[in-house]
Copies of this chain bind each other. A is one copy, B any other.
Amino acid sequence: MRILPLLPLLAGLLCVSAAQADQDQLVVNTAIDGPVLKFDWPALQIGIGSYEEGPTGLTIFRFRDRATAVVDVRGGAPGTVNTDLLRLGYPSRFVDAIVFSGGSAYGEEAITAAMTGLKDDGERSGAWTNIGLAAGAIIYDFQGHRLNEIYPDKRLAQAALHDLRAGVFPLQAQGAGRMAMQGGFFGCAAHSGQGGAFRQFGDTKVAAFVVINALGAVTDRDGRMVKCHRNPAWGDLTRTSDLLGRAIEQAVSPPAVGPSANTTISLVVTNRRMSPADLQRLAVEVHTSMARAIQPFSTYQDGDTLYAVSTQEVGEPTTRPSLMALDVAAAETMWDAILASVPDEPDASLPPEATVPPERLVGLAGQYRFGPHATLEVWVQDGKLMLRLSGERFFDLLPEPVVLHPTSATAFYVESRYHTRLAFTVDAGGHATGATVNPGRWAEYGKRLP
């Protein structure tokens, strides 16, 4: 079930239903729409799904012949399903899938849907030894991330389950990474995504997958912050550690802007035969190693959770690489995966400011509804278009009036750290029918209220 997202159409079509929280009218998207990681591993199948009008999404990792799984939960705000069972140290392969989802706790519906989906499809049943079992975790992608409250649900998850692919992992702002952000500790408000990487040593395969919605900032192997709406006060500082030092010196809490809730959820998969105890050591070592690539990591505003999974396909105790080396390799693979999560779409650069006659601005004034709790009010004052957001601050949009600078008759931006952009759709008479915040990959669609 691959449905190409027709975004312009969606804008008009769906904002109403979103406002009504009637998820049944949302358009399911399970297509790949961005870069991918490719690898050869038939036992591991991956599906994604998104509601583009959130946007929000989910990712399903299906183990064709089931797998042994363990979990390492380290964050201060985890949202998880079926982790207790994974802690009991059973060596048998009984896990069908790991599911990552947006939508905060509401997105946990996507995890249970993977189980019922397998049952409804007849792949699993009610027989004790044939229960479909999925575990998973979620990220928070509402306030600060977007203005509506759509969440990945059963329908979306089962569509993704019906469109699995082996050997292909969609990178960046796809699947569960569709609306992720990172760097909130530094006020980055940078869009993020899901990353993946794969290595093979002889017969031994290891893959790392991650959805980064971290309070911390993605950091490369030179210690540099990879992507951020930089604070002009930072000057030449580019090392994450320097920026951490600066923050500490000011002894300040993280900026109020940016998502106030975060989480990095991740998965390591290997085909190497491993006992649950060895798998747990792998989980702990890899999860800990991620503190190099995301700084700070595992804060109390992150619900960081890592699953480690073995398909138990190859290897004996003496197989090379040793488990010691494999654990280290997995940690480096995870760093690769984290770096691969960063969306490569360029930040939109702004065209020069345009001049728009006040009389043309008048048609844009009005109230625009973006979700059940967010409304933009737009009006003309002193020849300028002004904007005010009722609801939580969103990038530069505040409960206090801000000036909109025109770059065309229907396109505007806010002069500030994030250059938040606003575009209007107008009818033939020049009256706005809707508004889009930050047009592009992470656009938010609002419908003008009568």
| Residue pair A261, B128 in contact (C-beta under 8 Å) | yes
Interface residue from B89, B133, B241, B244 paired with A280 (Cβ < 8 Å): B89
Q: In the complex, what distance in Å separates the CA atom of A122 from the CA atom of B20?
A: 10
| Residue pair A299, B277 in contact (C-beta under 8 Å) | no
29 residue pairs from A and B, CB less than 8 Å apart: A88-B281, A89-B89, A89-B275, A89-B276, A104-B131, A105-B112, A106-B112, A108-B115, A109-B113, A109-B116, A112-B112, A126-B142, A127-B142, A127-B373, A128-B142, A185-B328, A221-B241, A241-B335, A244-B332, A245-B332, A248-B329, A252-B325, A253-B322, A254-B324, A254-B325, A285-B299, A289-B297, A292-B295, A299-B327
**In the assembled complex, A331 has its CB within 8 A of some CB on chain B:** yes
Interface residue from B76, B222, B290, B324 paired with A223 (Cβ < 8 Å): B222
**In the assembled complex, A247 has its CB within 8 A of some CB on chain B:** yes
| Residue pair A299, B324 in contact (C-beta under 8 Å) | yes
| Residue pair A298, B288 in contact (C-beta under 8 Å) | yes
- Interface flags, A325-342, vs B, CB<8A=1, else 0: 101110110010000000
Q: Inside 8 A of A241's CB, which chain B residues have their CB?
A: 221, 332, 335
Q: In the complex, what distance in Å separates the CA atom of A268 from the CA atom of B173?
A: 38
Q: In the complex, what distance in Å separates the CA atom of A90 from the CA atom of B111?
A: 25
**In the assembled complex, A377 has its CB within 8 A of some CB on chain B:** no
- Interface flags, A293-334, vs B, CB<8A=1, else 0: 001111111010100000000000000111111011101100
How many copies, total?
4
| Residue pair A324, B80 in contact (C-beta under 8 Å) | no
Q: In the complex, what distance in Å separates the CA atom of A10 from the CA atom of B21?
A: 33
- Interface flags, A134-176, vs B, CB<8A=1, else 0: 1000001011000001010110000000000000000000000
Given contacts A222-B223, A248-B325, A288-B291, 13 further A-B contacts (CB under 8 A): A21-B119, A76-B284, A78-B84, A79-B85, A81-B108, A89-B275, A109-B113, A127-B142, A127-B373, A199-B248, A254-B325, A281-B299, A284-B298
Q: Which residue of B lies closest to A298 (CB)?
A: B288
**In the assembled complex, A396 has its CB within 8 A of some CB on chain B:** no
Q: With A80-B83, A82-B81, A142-B126 known to touch, is A297 a contact of B301 (CB < 8 Å)?
A: no
Q: In the complex, what distance in Å separates the CA atom of A284 from the CA atom of B87?
A: 14
Q: Inside 8 A of A280's CB, which chain B residues have their CB?
A: 88-89
Q: Which residue of B lies closest to A323 (CB)?
A: B300
Please list the residues of chain A having a beta carbon within 8 angstroms of any beta carbon in chain B. 21, 73-74, 76-85, 88-91, 104-106, 108-109, 111-113, 115-116, 119-120, 122, 125-128, 131-134, 140, 142-143, 149, 151, 153-154, 185, 199, 201-202, 221-223, 239, 241, 244-245, 247-248, 251-254, 260-261, 275-278, 280-281, 284-285, 287-292, 295-301, 303, 305, 320-325, 327-329, 331-332, 335, 371-373, 392
Q: With A291-B292, A292-B291, A296-B328 known to touch, is A277 a contact of B223 (CB < 8 Å)?
A: no
Q: Inside 8 A of A299's CB, which chain B residues have their CB?
A: 281, 285, 324, 327-328
Q: With A285-B296, A329-B248 known to touch, is A132 a contact of B119 (CB < 8 Å)?
A: no
Q: In the complex, what distance in Å separates the CA atom of A356 from the CA atom of B13?
A: 67
Q: In the complex, what distance in Å separates the CA atom of A288 from the CA atom of B113?
A: 33
